[in-house]
Amino acid sequence: MTQTVSGFSKLSKSEKINWIIKHHLQDSADARTIILQYWNSNEALQNLHDEFIENTISNYYLPFAVAPNFKINNAIYTIPMAIEESSVVAAASKAAKFWLDRGGFKAEVINTSKVGQVHFNYTGSIQSLQDFFKEIKPKLISATEALTGNMIKRGGGIIDIELRDKSELLPNYYQLHATFETLDAMGANFINSCLEQFAHTLKDEATTNAYTKQNRLEVIMSILSNYVPECLVTAEVSCKVEDLKDNDGINPEDFAQKFVQAVKIAEVEPYRAVTHNKGIMNGIDAVVLATGNDFRAVEAGIHAYAAKDGRYKSLSHASVENGIFKFWIEIPLALGTVGGLTKLHPLVKVALQLLGNPTAKDLMKITAVAGLAQNFAALKSLTTTGIQQGHMKMHLMNILNQLEATSEEKQLIVAHFKTHTVTHNSVIEALKAHRTK
């Protein structure tokens, strides 16, 4: 039975580790070694990482990689990616190279507005509430002036506040639905601060206003939404069908037809759409992580968008019209290039420098392109050679590491599987045969 503890957060890092080793890891010397070996030898850097979150005992590393040769709106990018899954970076790089000489990727930001809400209950008449809201709306905005001044100077701030009646869904439930422009900041703290001020003003005005003082108005909570269906970016590639011809000997007309059909299947079949979109997120999440953004918020918002029409479906689309192949994506992305980890995490700084210190709009375009590239590479494999051929070759090194192969053995086995199909069992047998010799 595991142990409970009081005051754990007040213990030093070493004390936390000692308690965990004793009570949860059976005094394992190996566990202690693993935890300690991931500490950074640079004390200042380690302290910085320790202060990102609470109760830190070590660091958890993900590979930090780059995918070169991305031509986006006629500019060349090398895209940073942080991810652990085999073949993702290779696939993105391959797609970038494929489209490099076919016009590259085109990307456009449609809108950047974000959403926050004050959720409240009200028991009076809707007309009285509407009249009350019209009266206090200017006060809601003016009460936030201390919060919004700097943002307004840069061209952002509060776009609008609406009263929304949700009482048909939940009795007595209403919202203040606010939209914001936060420019290069993701804006969570700014939005939440504004919303909490809205809530204070709403409560204060409700206690004295003639419309509402006879009826109960109760604020439940104030919080931004990670569903940002207006904060949209598009990315696309296109070329003549005949230009899809590659060194793989695939017939371009057949390939285009199968590719479009594969996308259409993901548009109508949720079981396929989930895996299809997961592949898109392989590219998106890797860039979001590398640039210090919130991949959980991005994931939640994008998947909600995939189901916005009442059925979960593909985020990407494809067509062949008048001999032109086109493949595109439209997704909501709330990203920032200032604030949060962007000025704290050293590798995040490097990632943003690598991208030319992009604006938030630029980063939206780059990230959407990474998702589209990943999706193209996956669908190209699925509709031609199959996904496992390339994936398992990239996974080969992971299998060899699990089997504790030496450097010499790795070289020999990798050479062997250049002309053989990789499976877990086939790698075991090949390594066993080599060791027997």
Res 387 pLDDT > 70: no
393: left (phi over 0), alpha (psi -120 to 50) or beta: alpha
pLDDT given for residue 323 in this prediction: 97
List, as one string, the DSSP characters of 317-350: EEEEETTEEEEEEEEE----SBSGGGGT-HHHHH
pLDDT given for residue 235 in this prediction: 98
205: left (phi over 0), alpha (psi -120 to 50) or beta: alpha
pLDDT given for residue 248 in this prediction: 74
Query: Are 178 and 158 spatial neighbours (Cβ–Cβ below 8 Å)?
Result: yes
Name the active-site residue from 16, 380, 391, 395.
Answer: 391
pLDDT band at 211 (very low <50, low <70, confident <90, very high): confident
Cross-strand pairs, 225: 115
Res 210 pLDDT > 80: no
Res 256 pLDDT > 80: yes
pLDDT given for residue 434 in this prediction: 80
pLDDT in tens, 129-153: 999 999 999 999 999 999 999 999 9
Res 77 pLDDT > 70: yes
pLDDT given for residue 190 in this prediction: 96
Give the closest residue to 183 by CA, choosing from 160, 153, 161, 223.
153
pLDDT given for residue 394 in this prediction: 62
pLDDT given for residue 412 in this prediction: 82
Res 90 pLDDT > 60: yes
pLDDT band at 400 (very low <50, low <70, confident <90, very high): confident
Average pLDDT of the segment spanning 217-221:
95
Q: Which residue has the tokens 């422009």?
A: 181
Distance CA 394, CA 89 (A): 10
Could you tell me what percent of the chain has a pLDDT over 70? 97
pLDDT band at 401 (very low <50, low <70, confident <90, very high): confident
Average pLDDT of the segment spanning 116-124:
96
pTM of the model: 0.88
- Name residue 114's amino acid: K
Catalytic site includes residue 168: no
pLDDT given for residue 30 in this prediction: 94
Angstrom CA distances, 27 to 13, 16, 30, stand at 17, 13, 9
9, exposed or middle or buried, with CB in 10 Å at 0-12, 13-18, 19+?
exposed
pLDDT given for residue 390 in this prediction: 54
Of the two residues 96 and 417, the one the predictor is more confident about is: 96
Spatial CB neighbours of 175, under 8 Å, sequence gap ≥ 6:
117, 118, 119, 120, 163, 164, 166
Give the closest residue to 352 by CA, choosing from 274, 415, 292.
292
Catalytic site includes residue 294: yes
Res 363 pLDDT > 60: yes
Angstrom CA distances, 329 to 229, 232, 266, 277, stand at 14, 10, 13, 11
pLDDT given for residue 208 in this prediction: 86
Distance CA 7, CA 29 (A): 25
Q: Which two tokens stand for residue 421?
A: 């199909």
Name the active-site residue from 13, 23, 50, 85.
Answer: 85
Average pLDDT of the segment spanning 208-237:
90
Distance CA 282, CA 273 (A): 14
Res 72 pLDDT > 70: yes
Distance CA 210, CA 229 (A): 36
pLDDT band at 165 (very low <50, low <70, confident <90, very high): very high
- Name residue 35's amino acid: I
pLDDT given for residue 354 in this prediction: 97
pLDDT given for residue 403 in this prediction: 81
pLDDT given for residue 386 in this prediction: 63
pLDDT given for residue 389 in this prediction: 55
Taken in order of first residue, the domains within the chain and their CATH numbers are 8-50 (no CATH), 64-110+233-385 (3.90.770.10), 114-225 (3.30.70.420), 391-436 (no CATH)
Catalytic site includes residue 23: no
Chain-wide mean pLDDT for the chain?
A: 92
Spatial CB neighbours of 268, under 8 Å, sequence gap ≥ 6:
313
Q: Which two tokens stand for residue 180?
A: 């914001």
Name the active-site residue from 278, 343, 420, 432.
Answer: 278
Catalytic site includes residue 391: yes
Of the two residues 176 and 395, the one the predictor is more confident about is: 176
pLDDT given for residue 154 in this prediction: 93
User: Which alpha helices (DSSP H) does 232-269 contain, by range?
Assistant: 252-268
Distance CA 200, CA 143 (A): 9
Name the active-site residue from 184, 196, 285, 294.
Answer: 294
Of the two residues 249 and 261, the one the predictor is more confident about is: 261
Q: Which two tokens stand for residue 400?
A: 């060899």
Q: Which two tokens stand for residue 77?
A: 């990018």
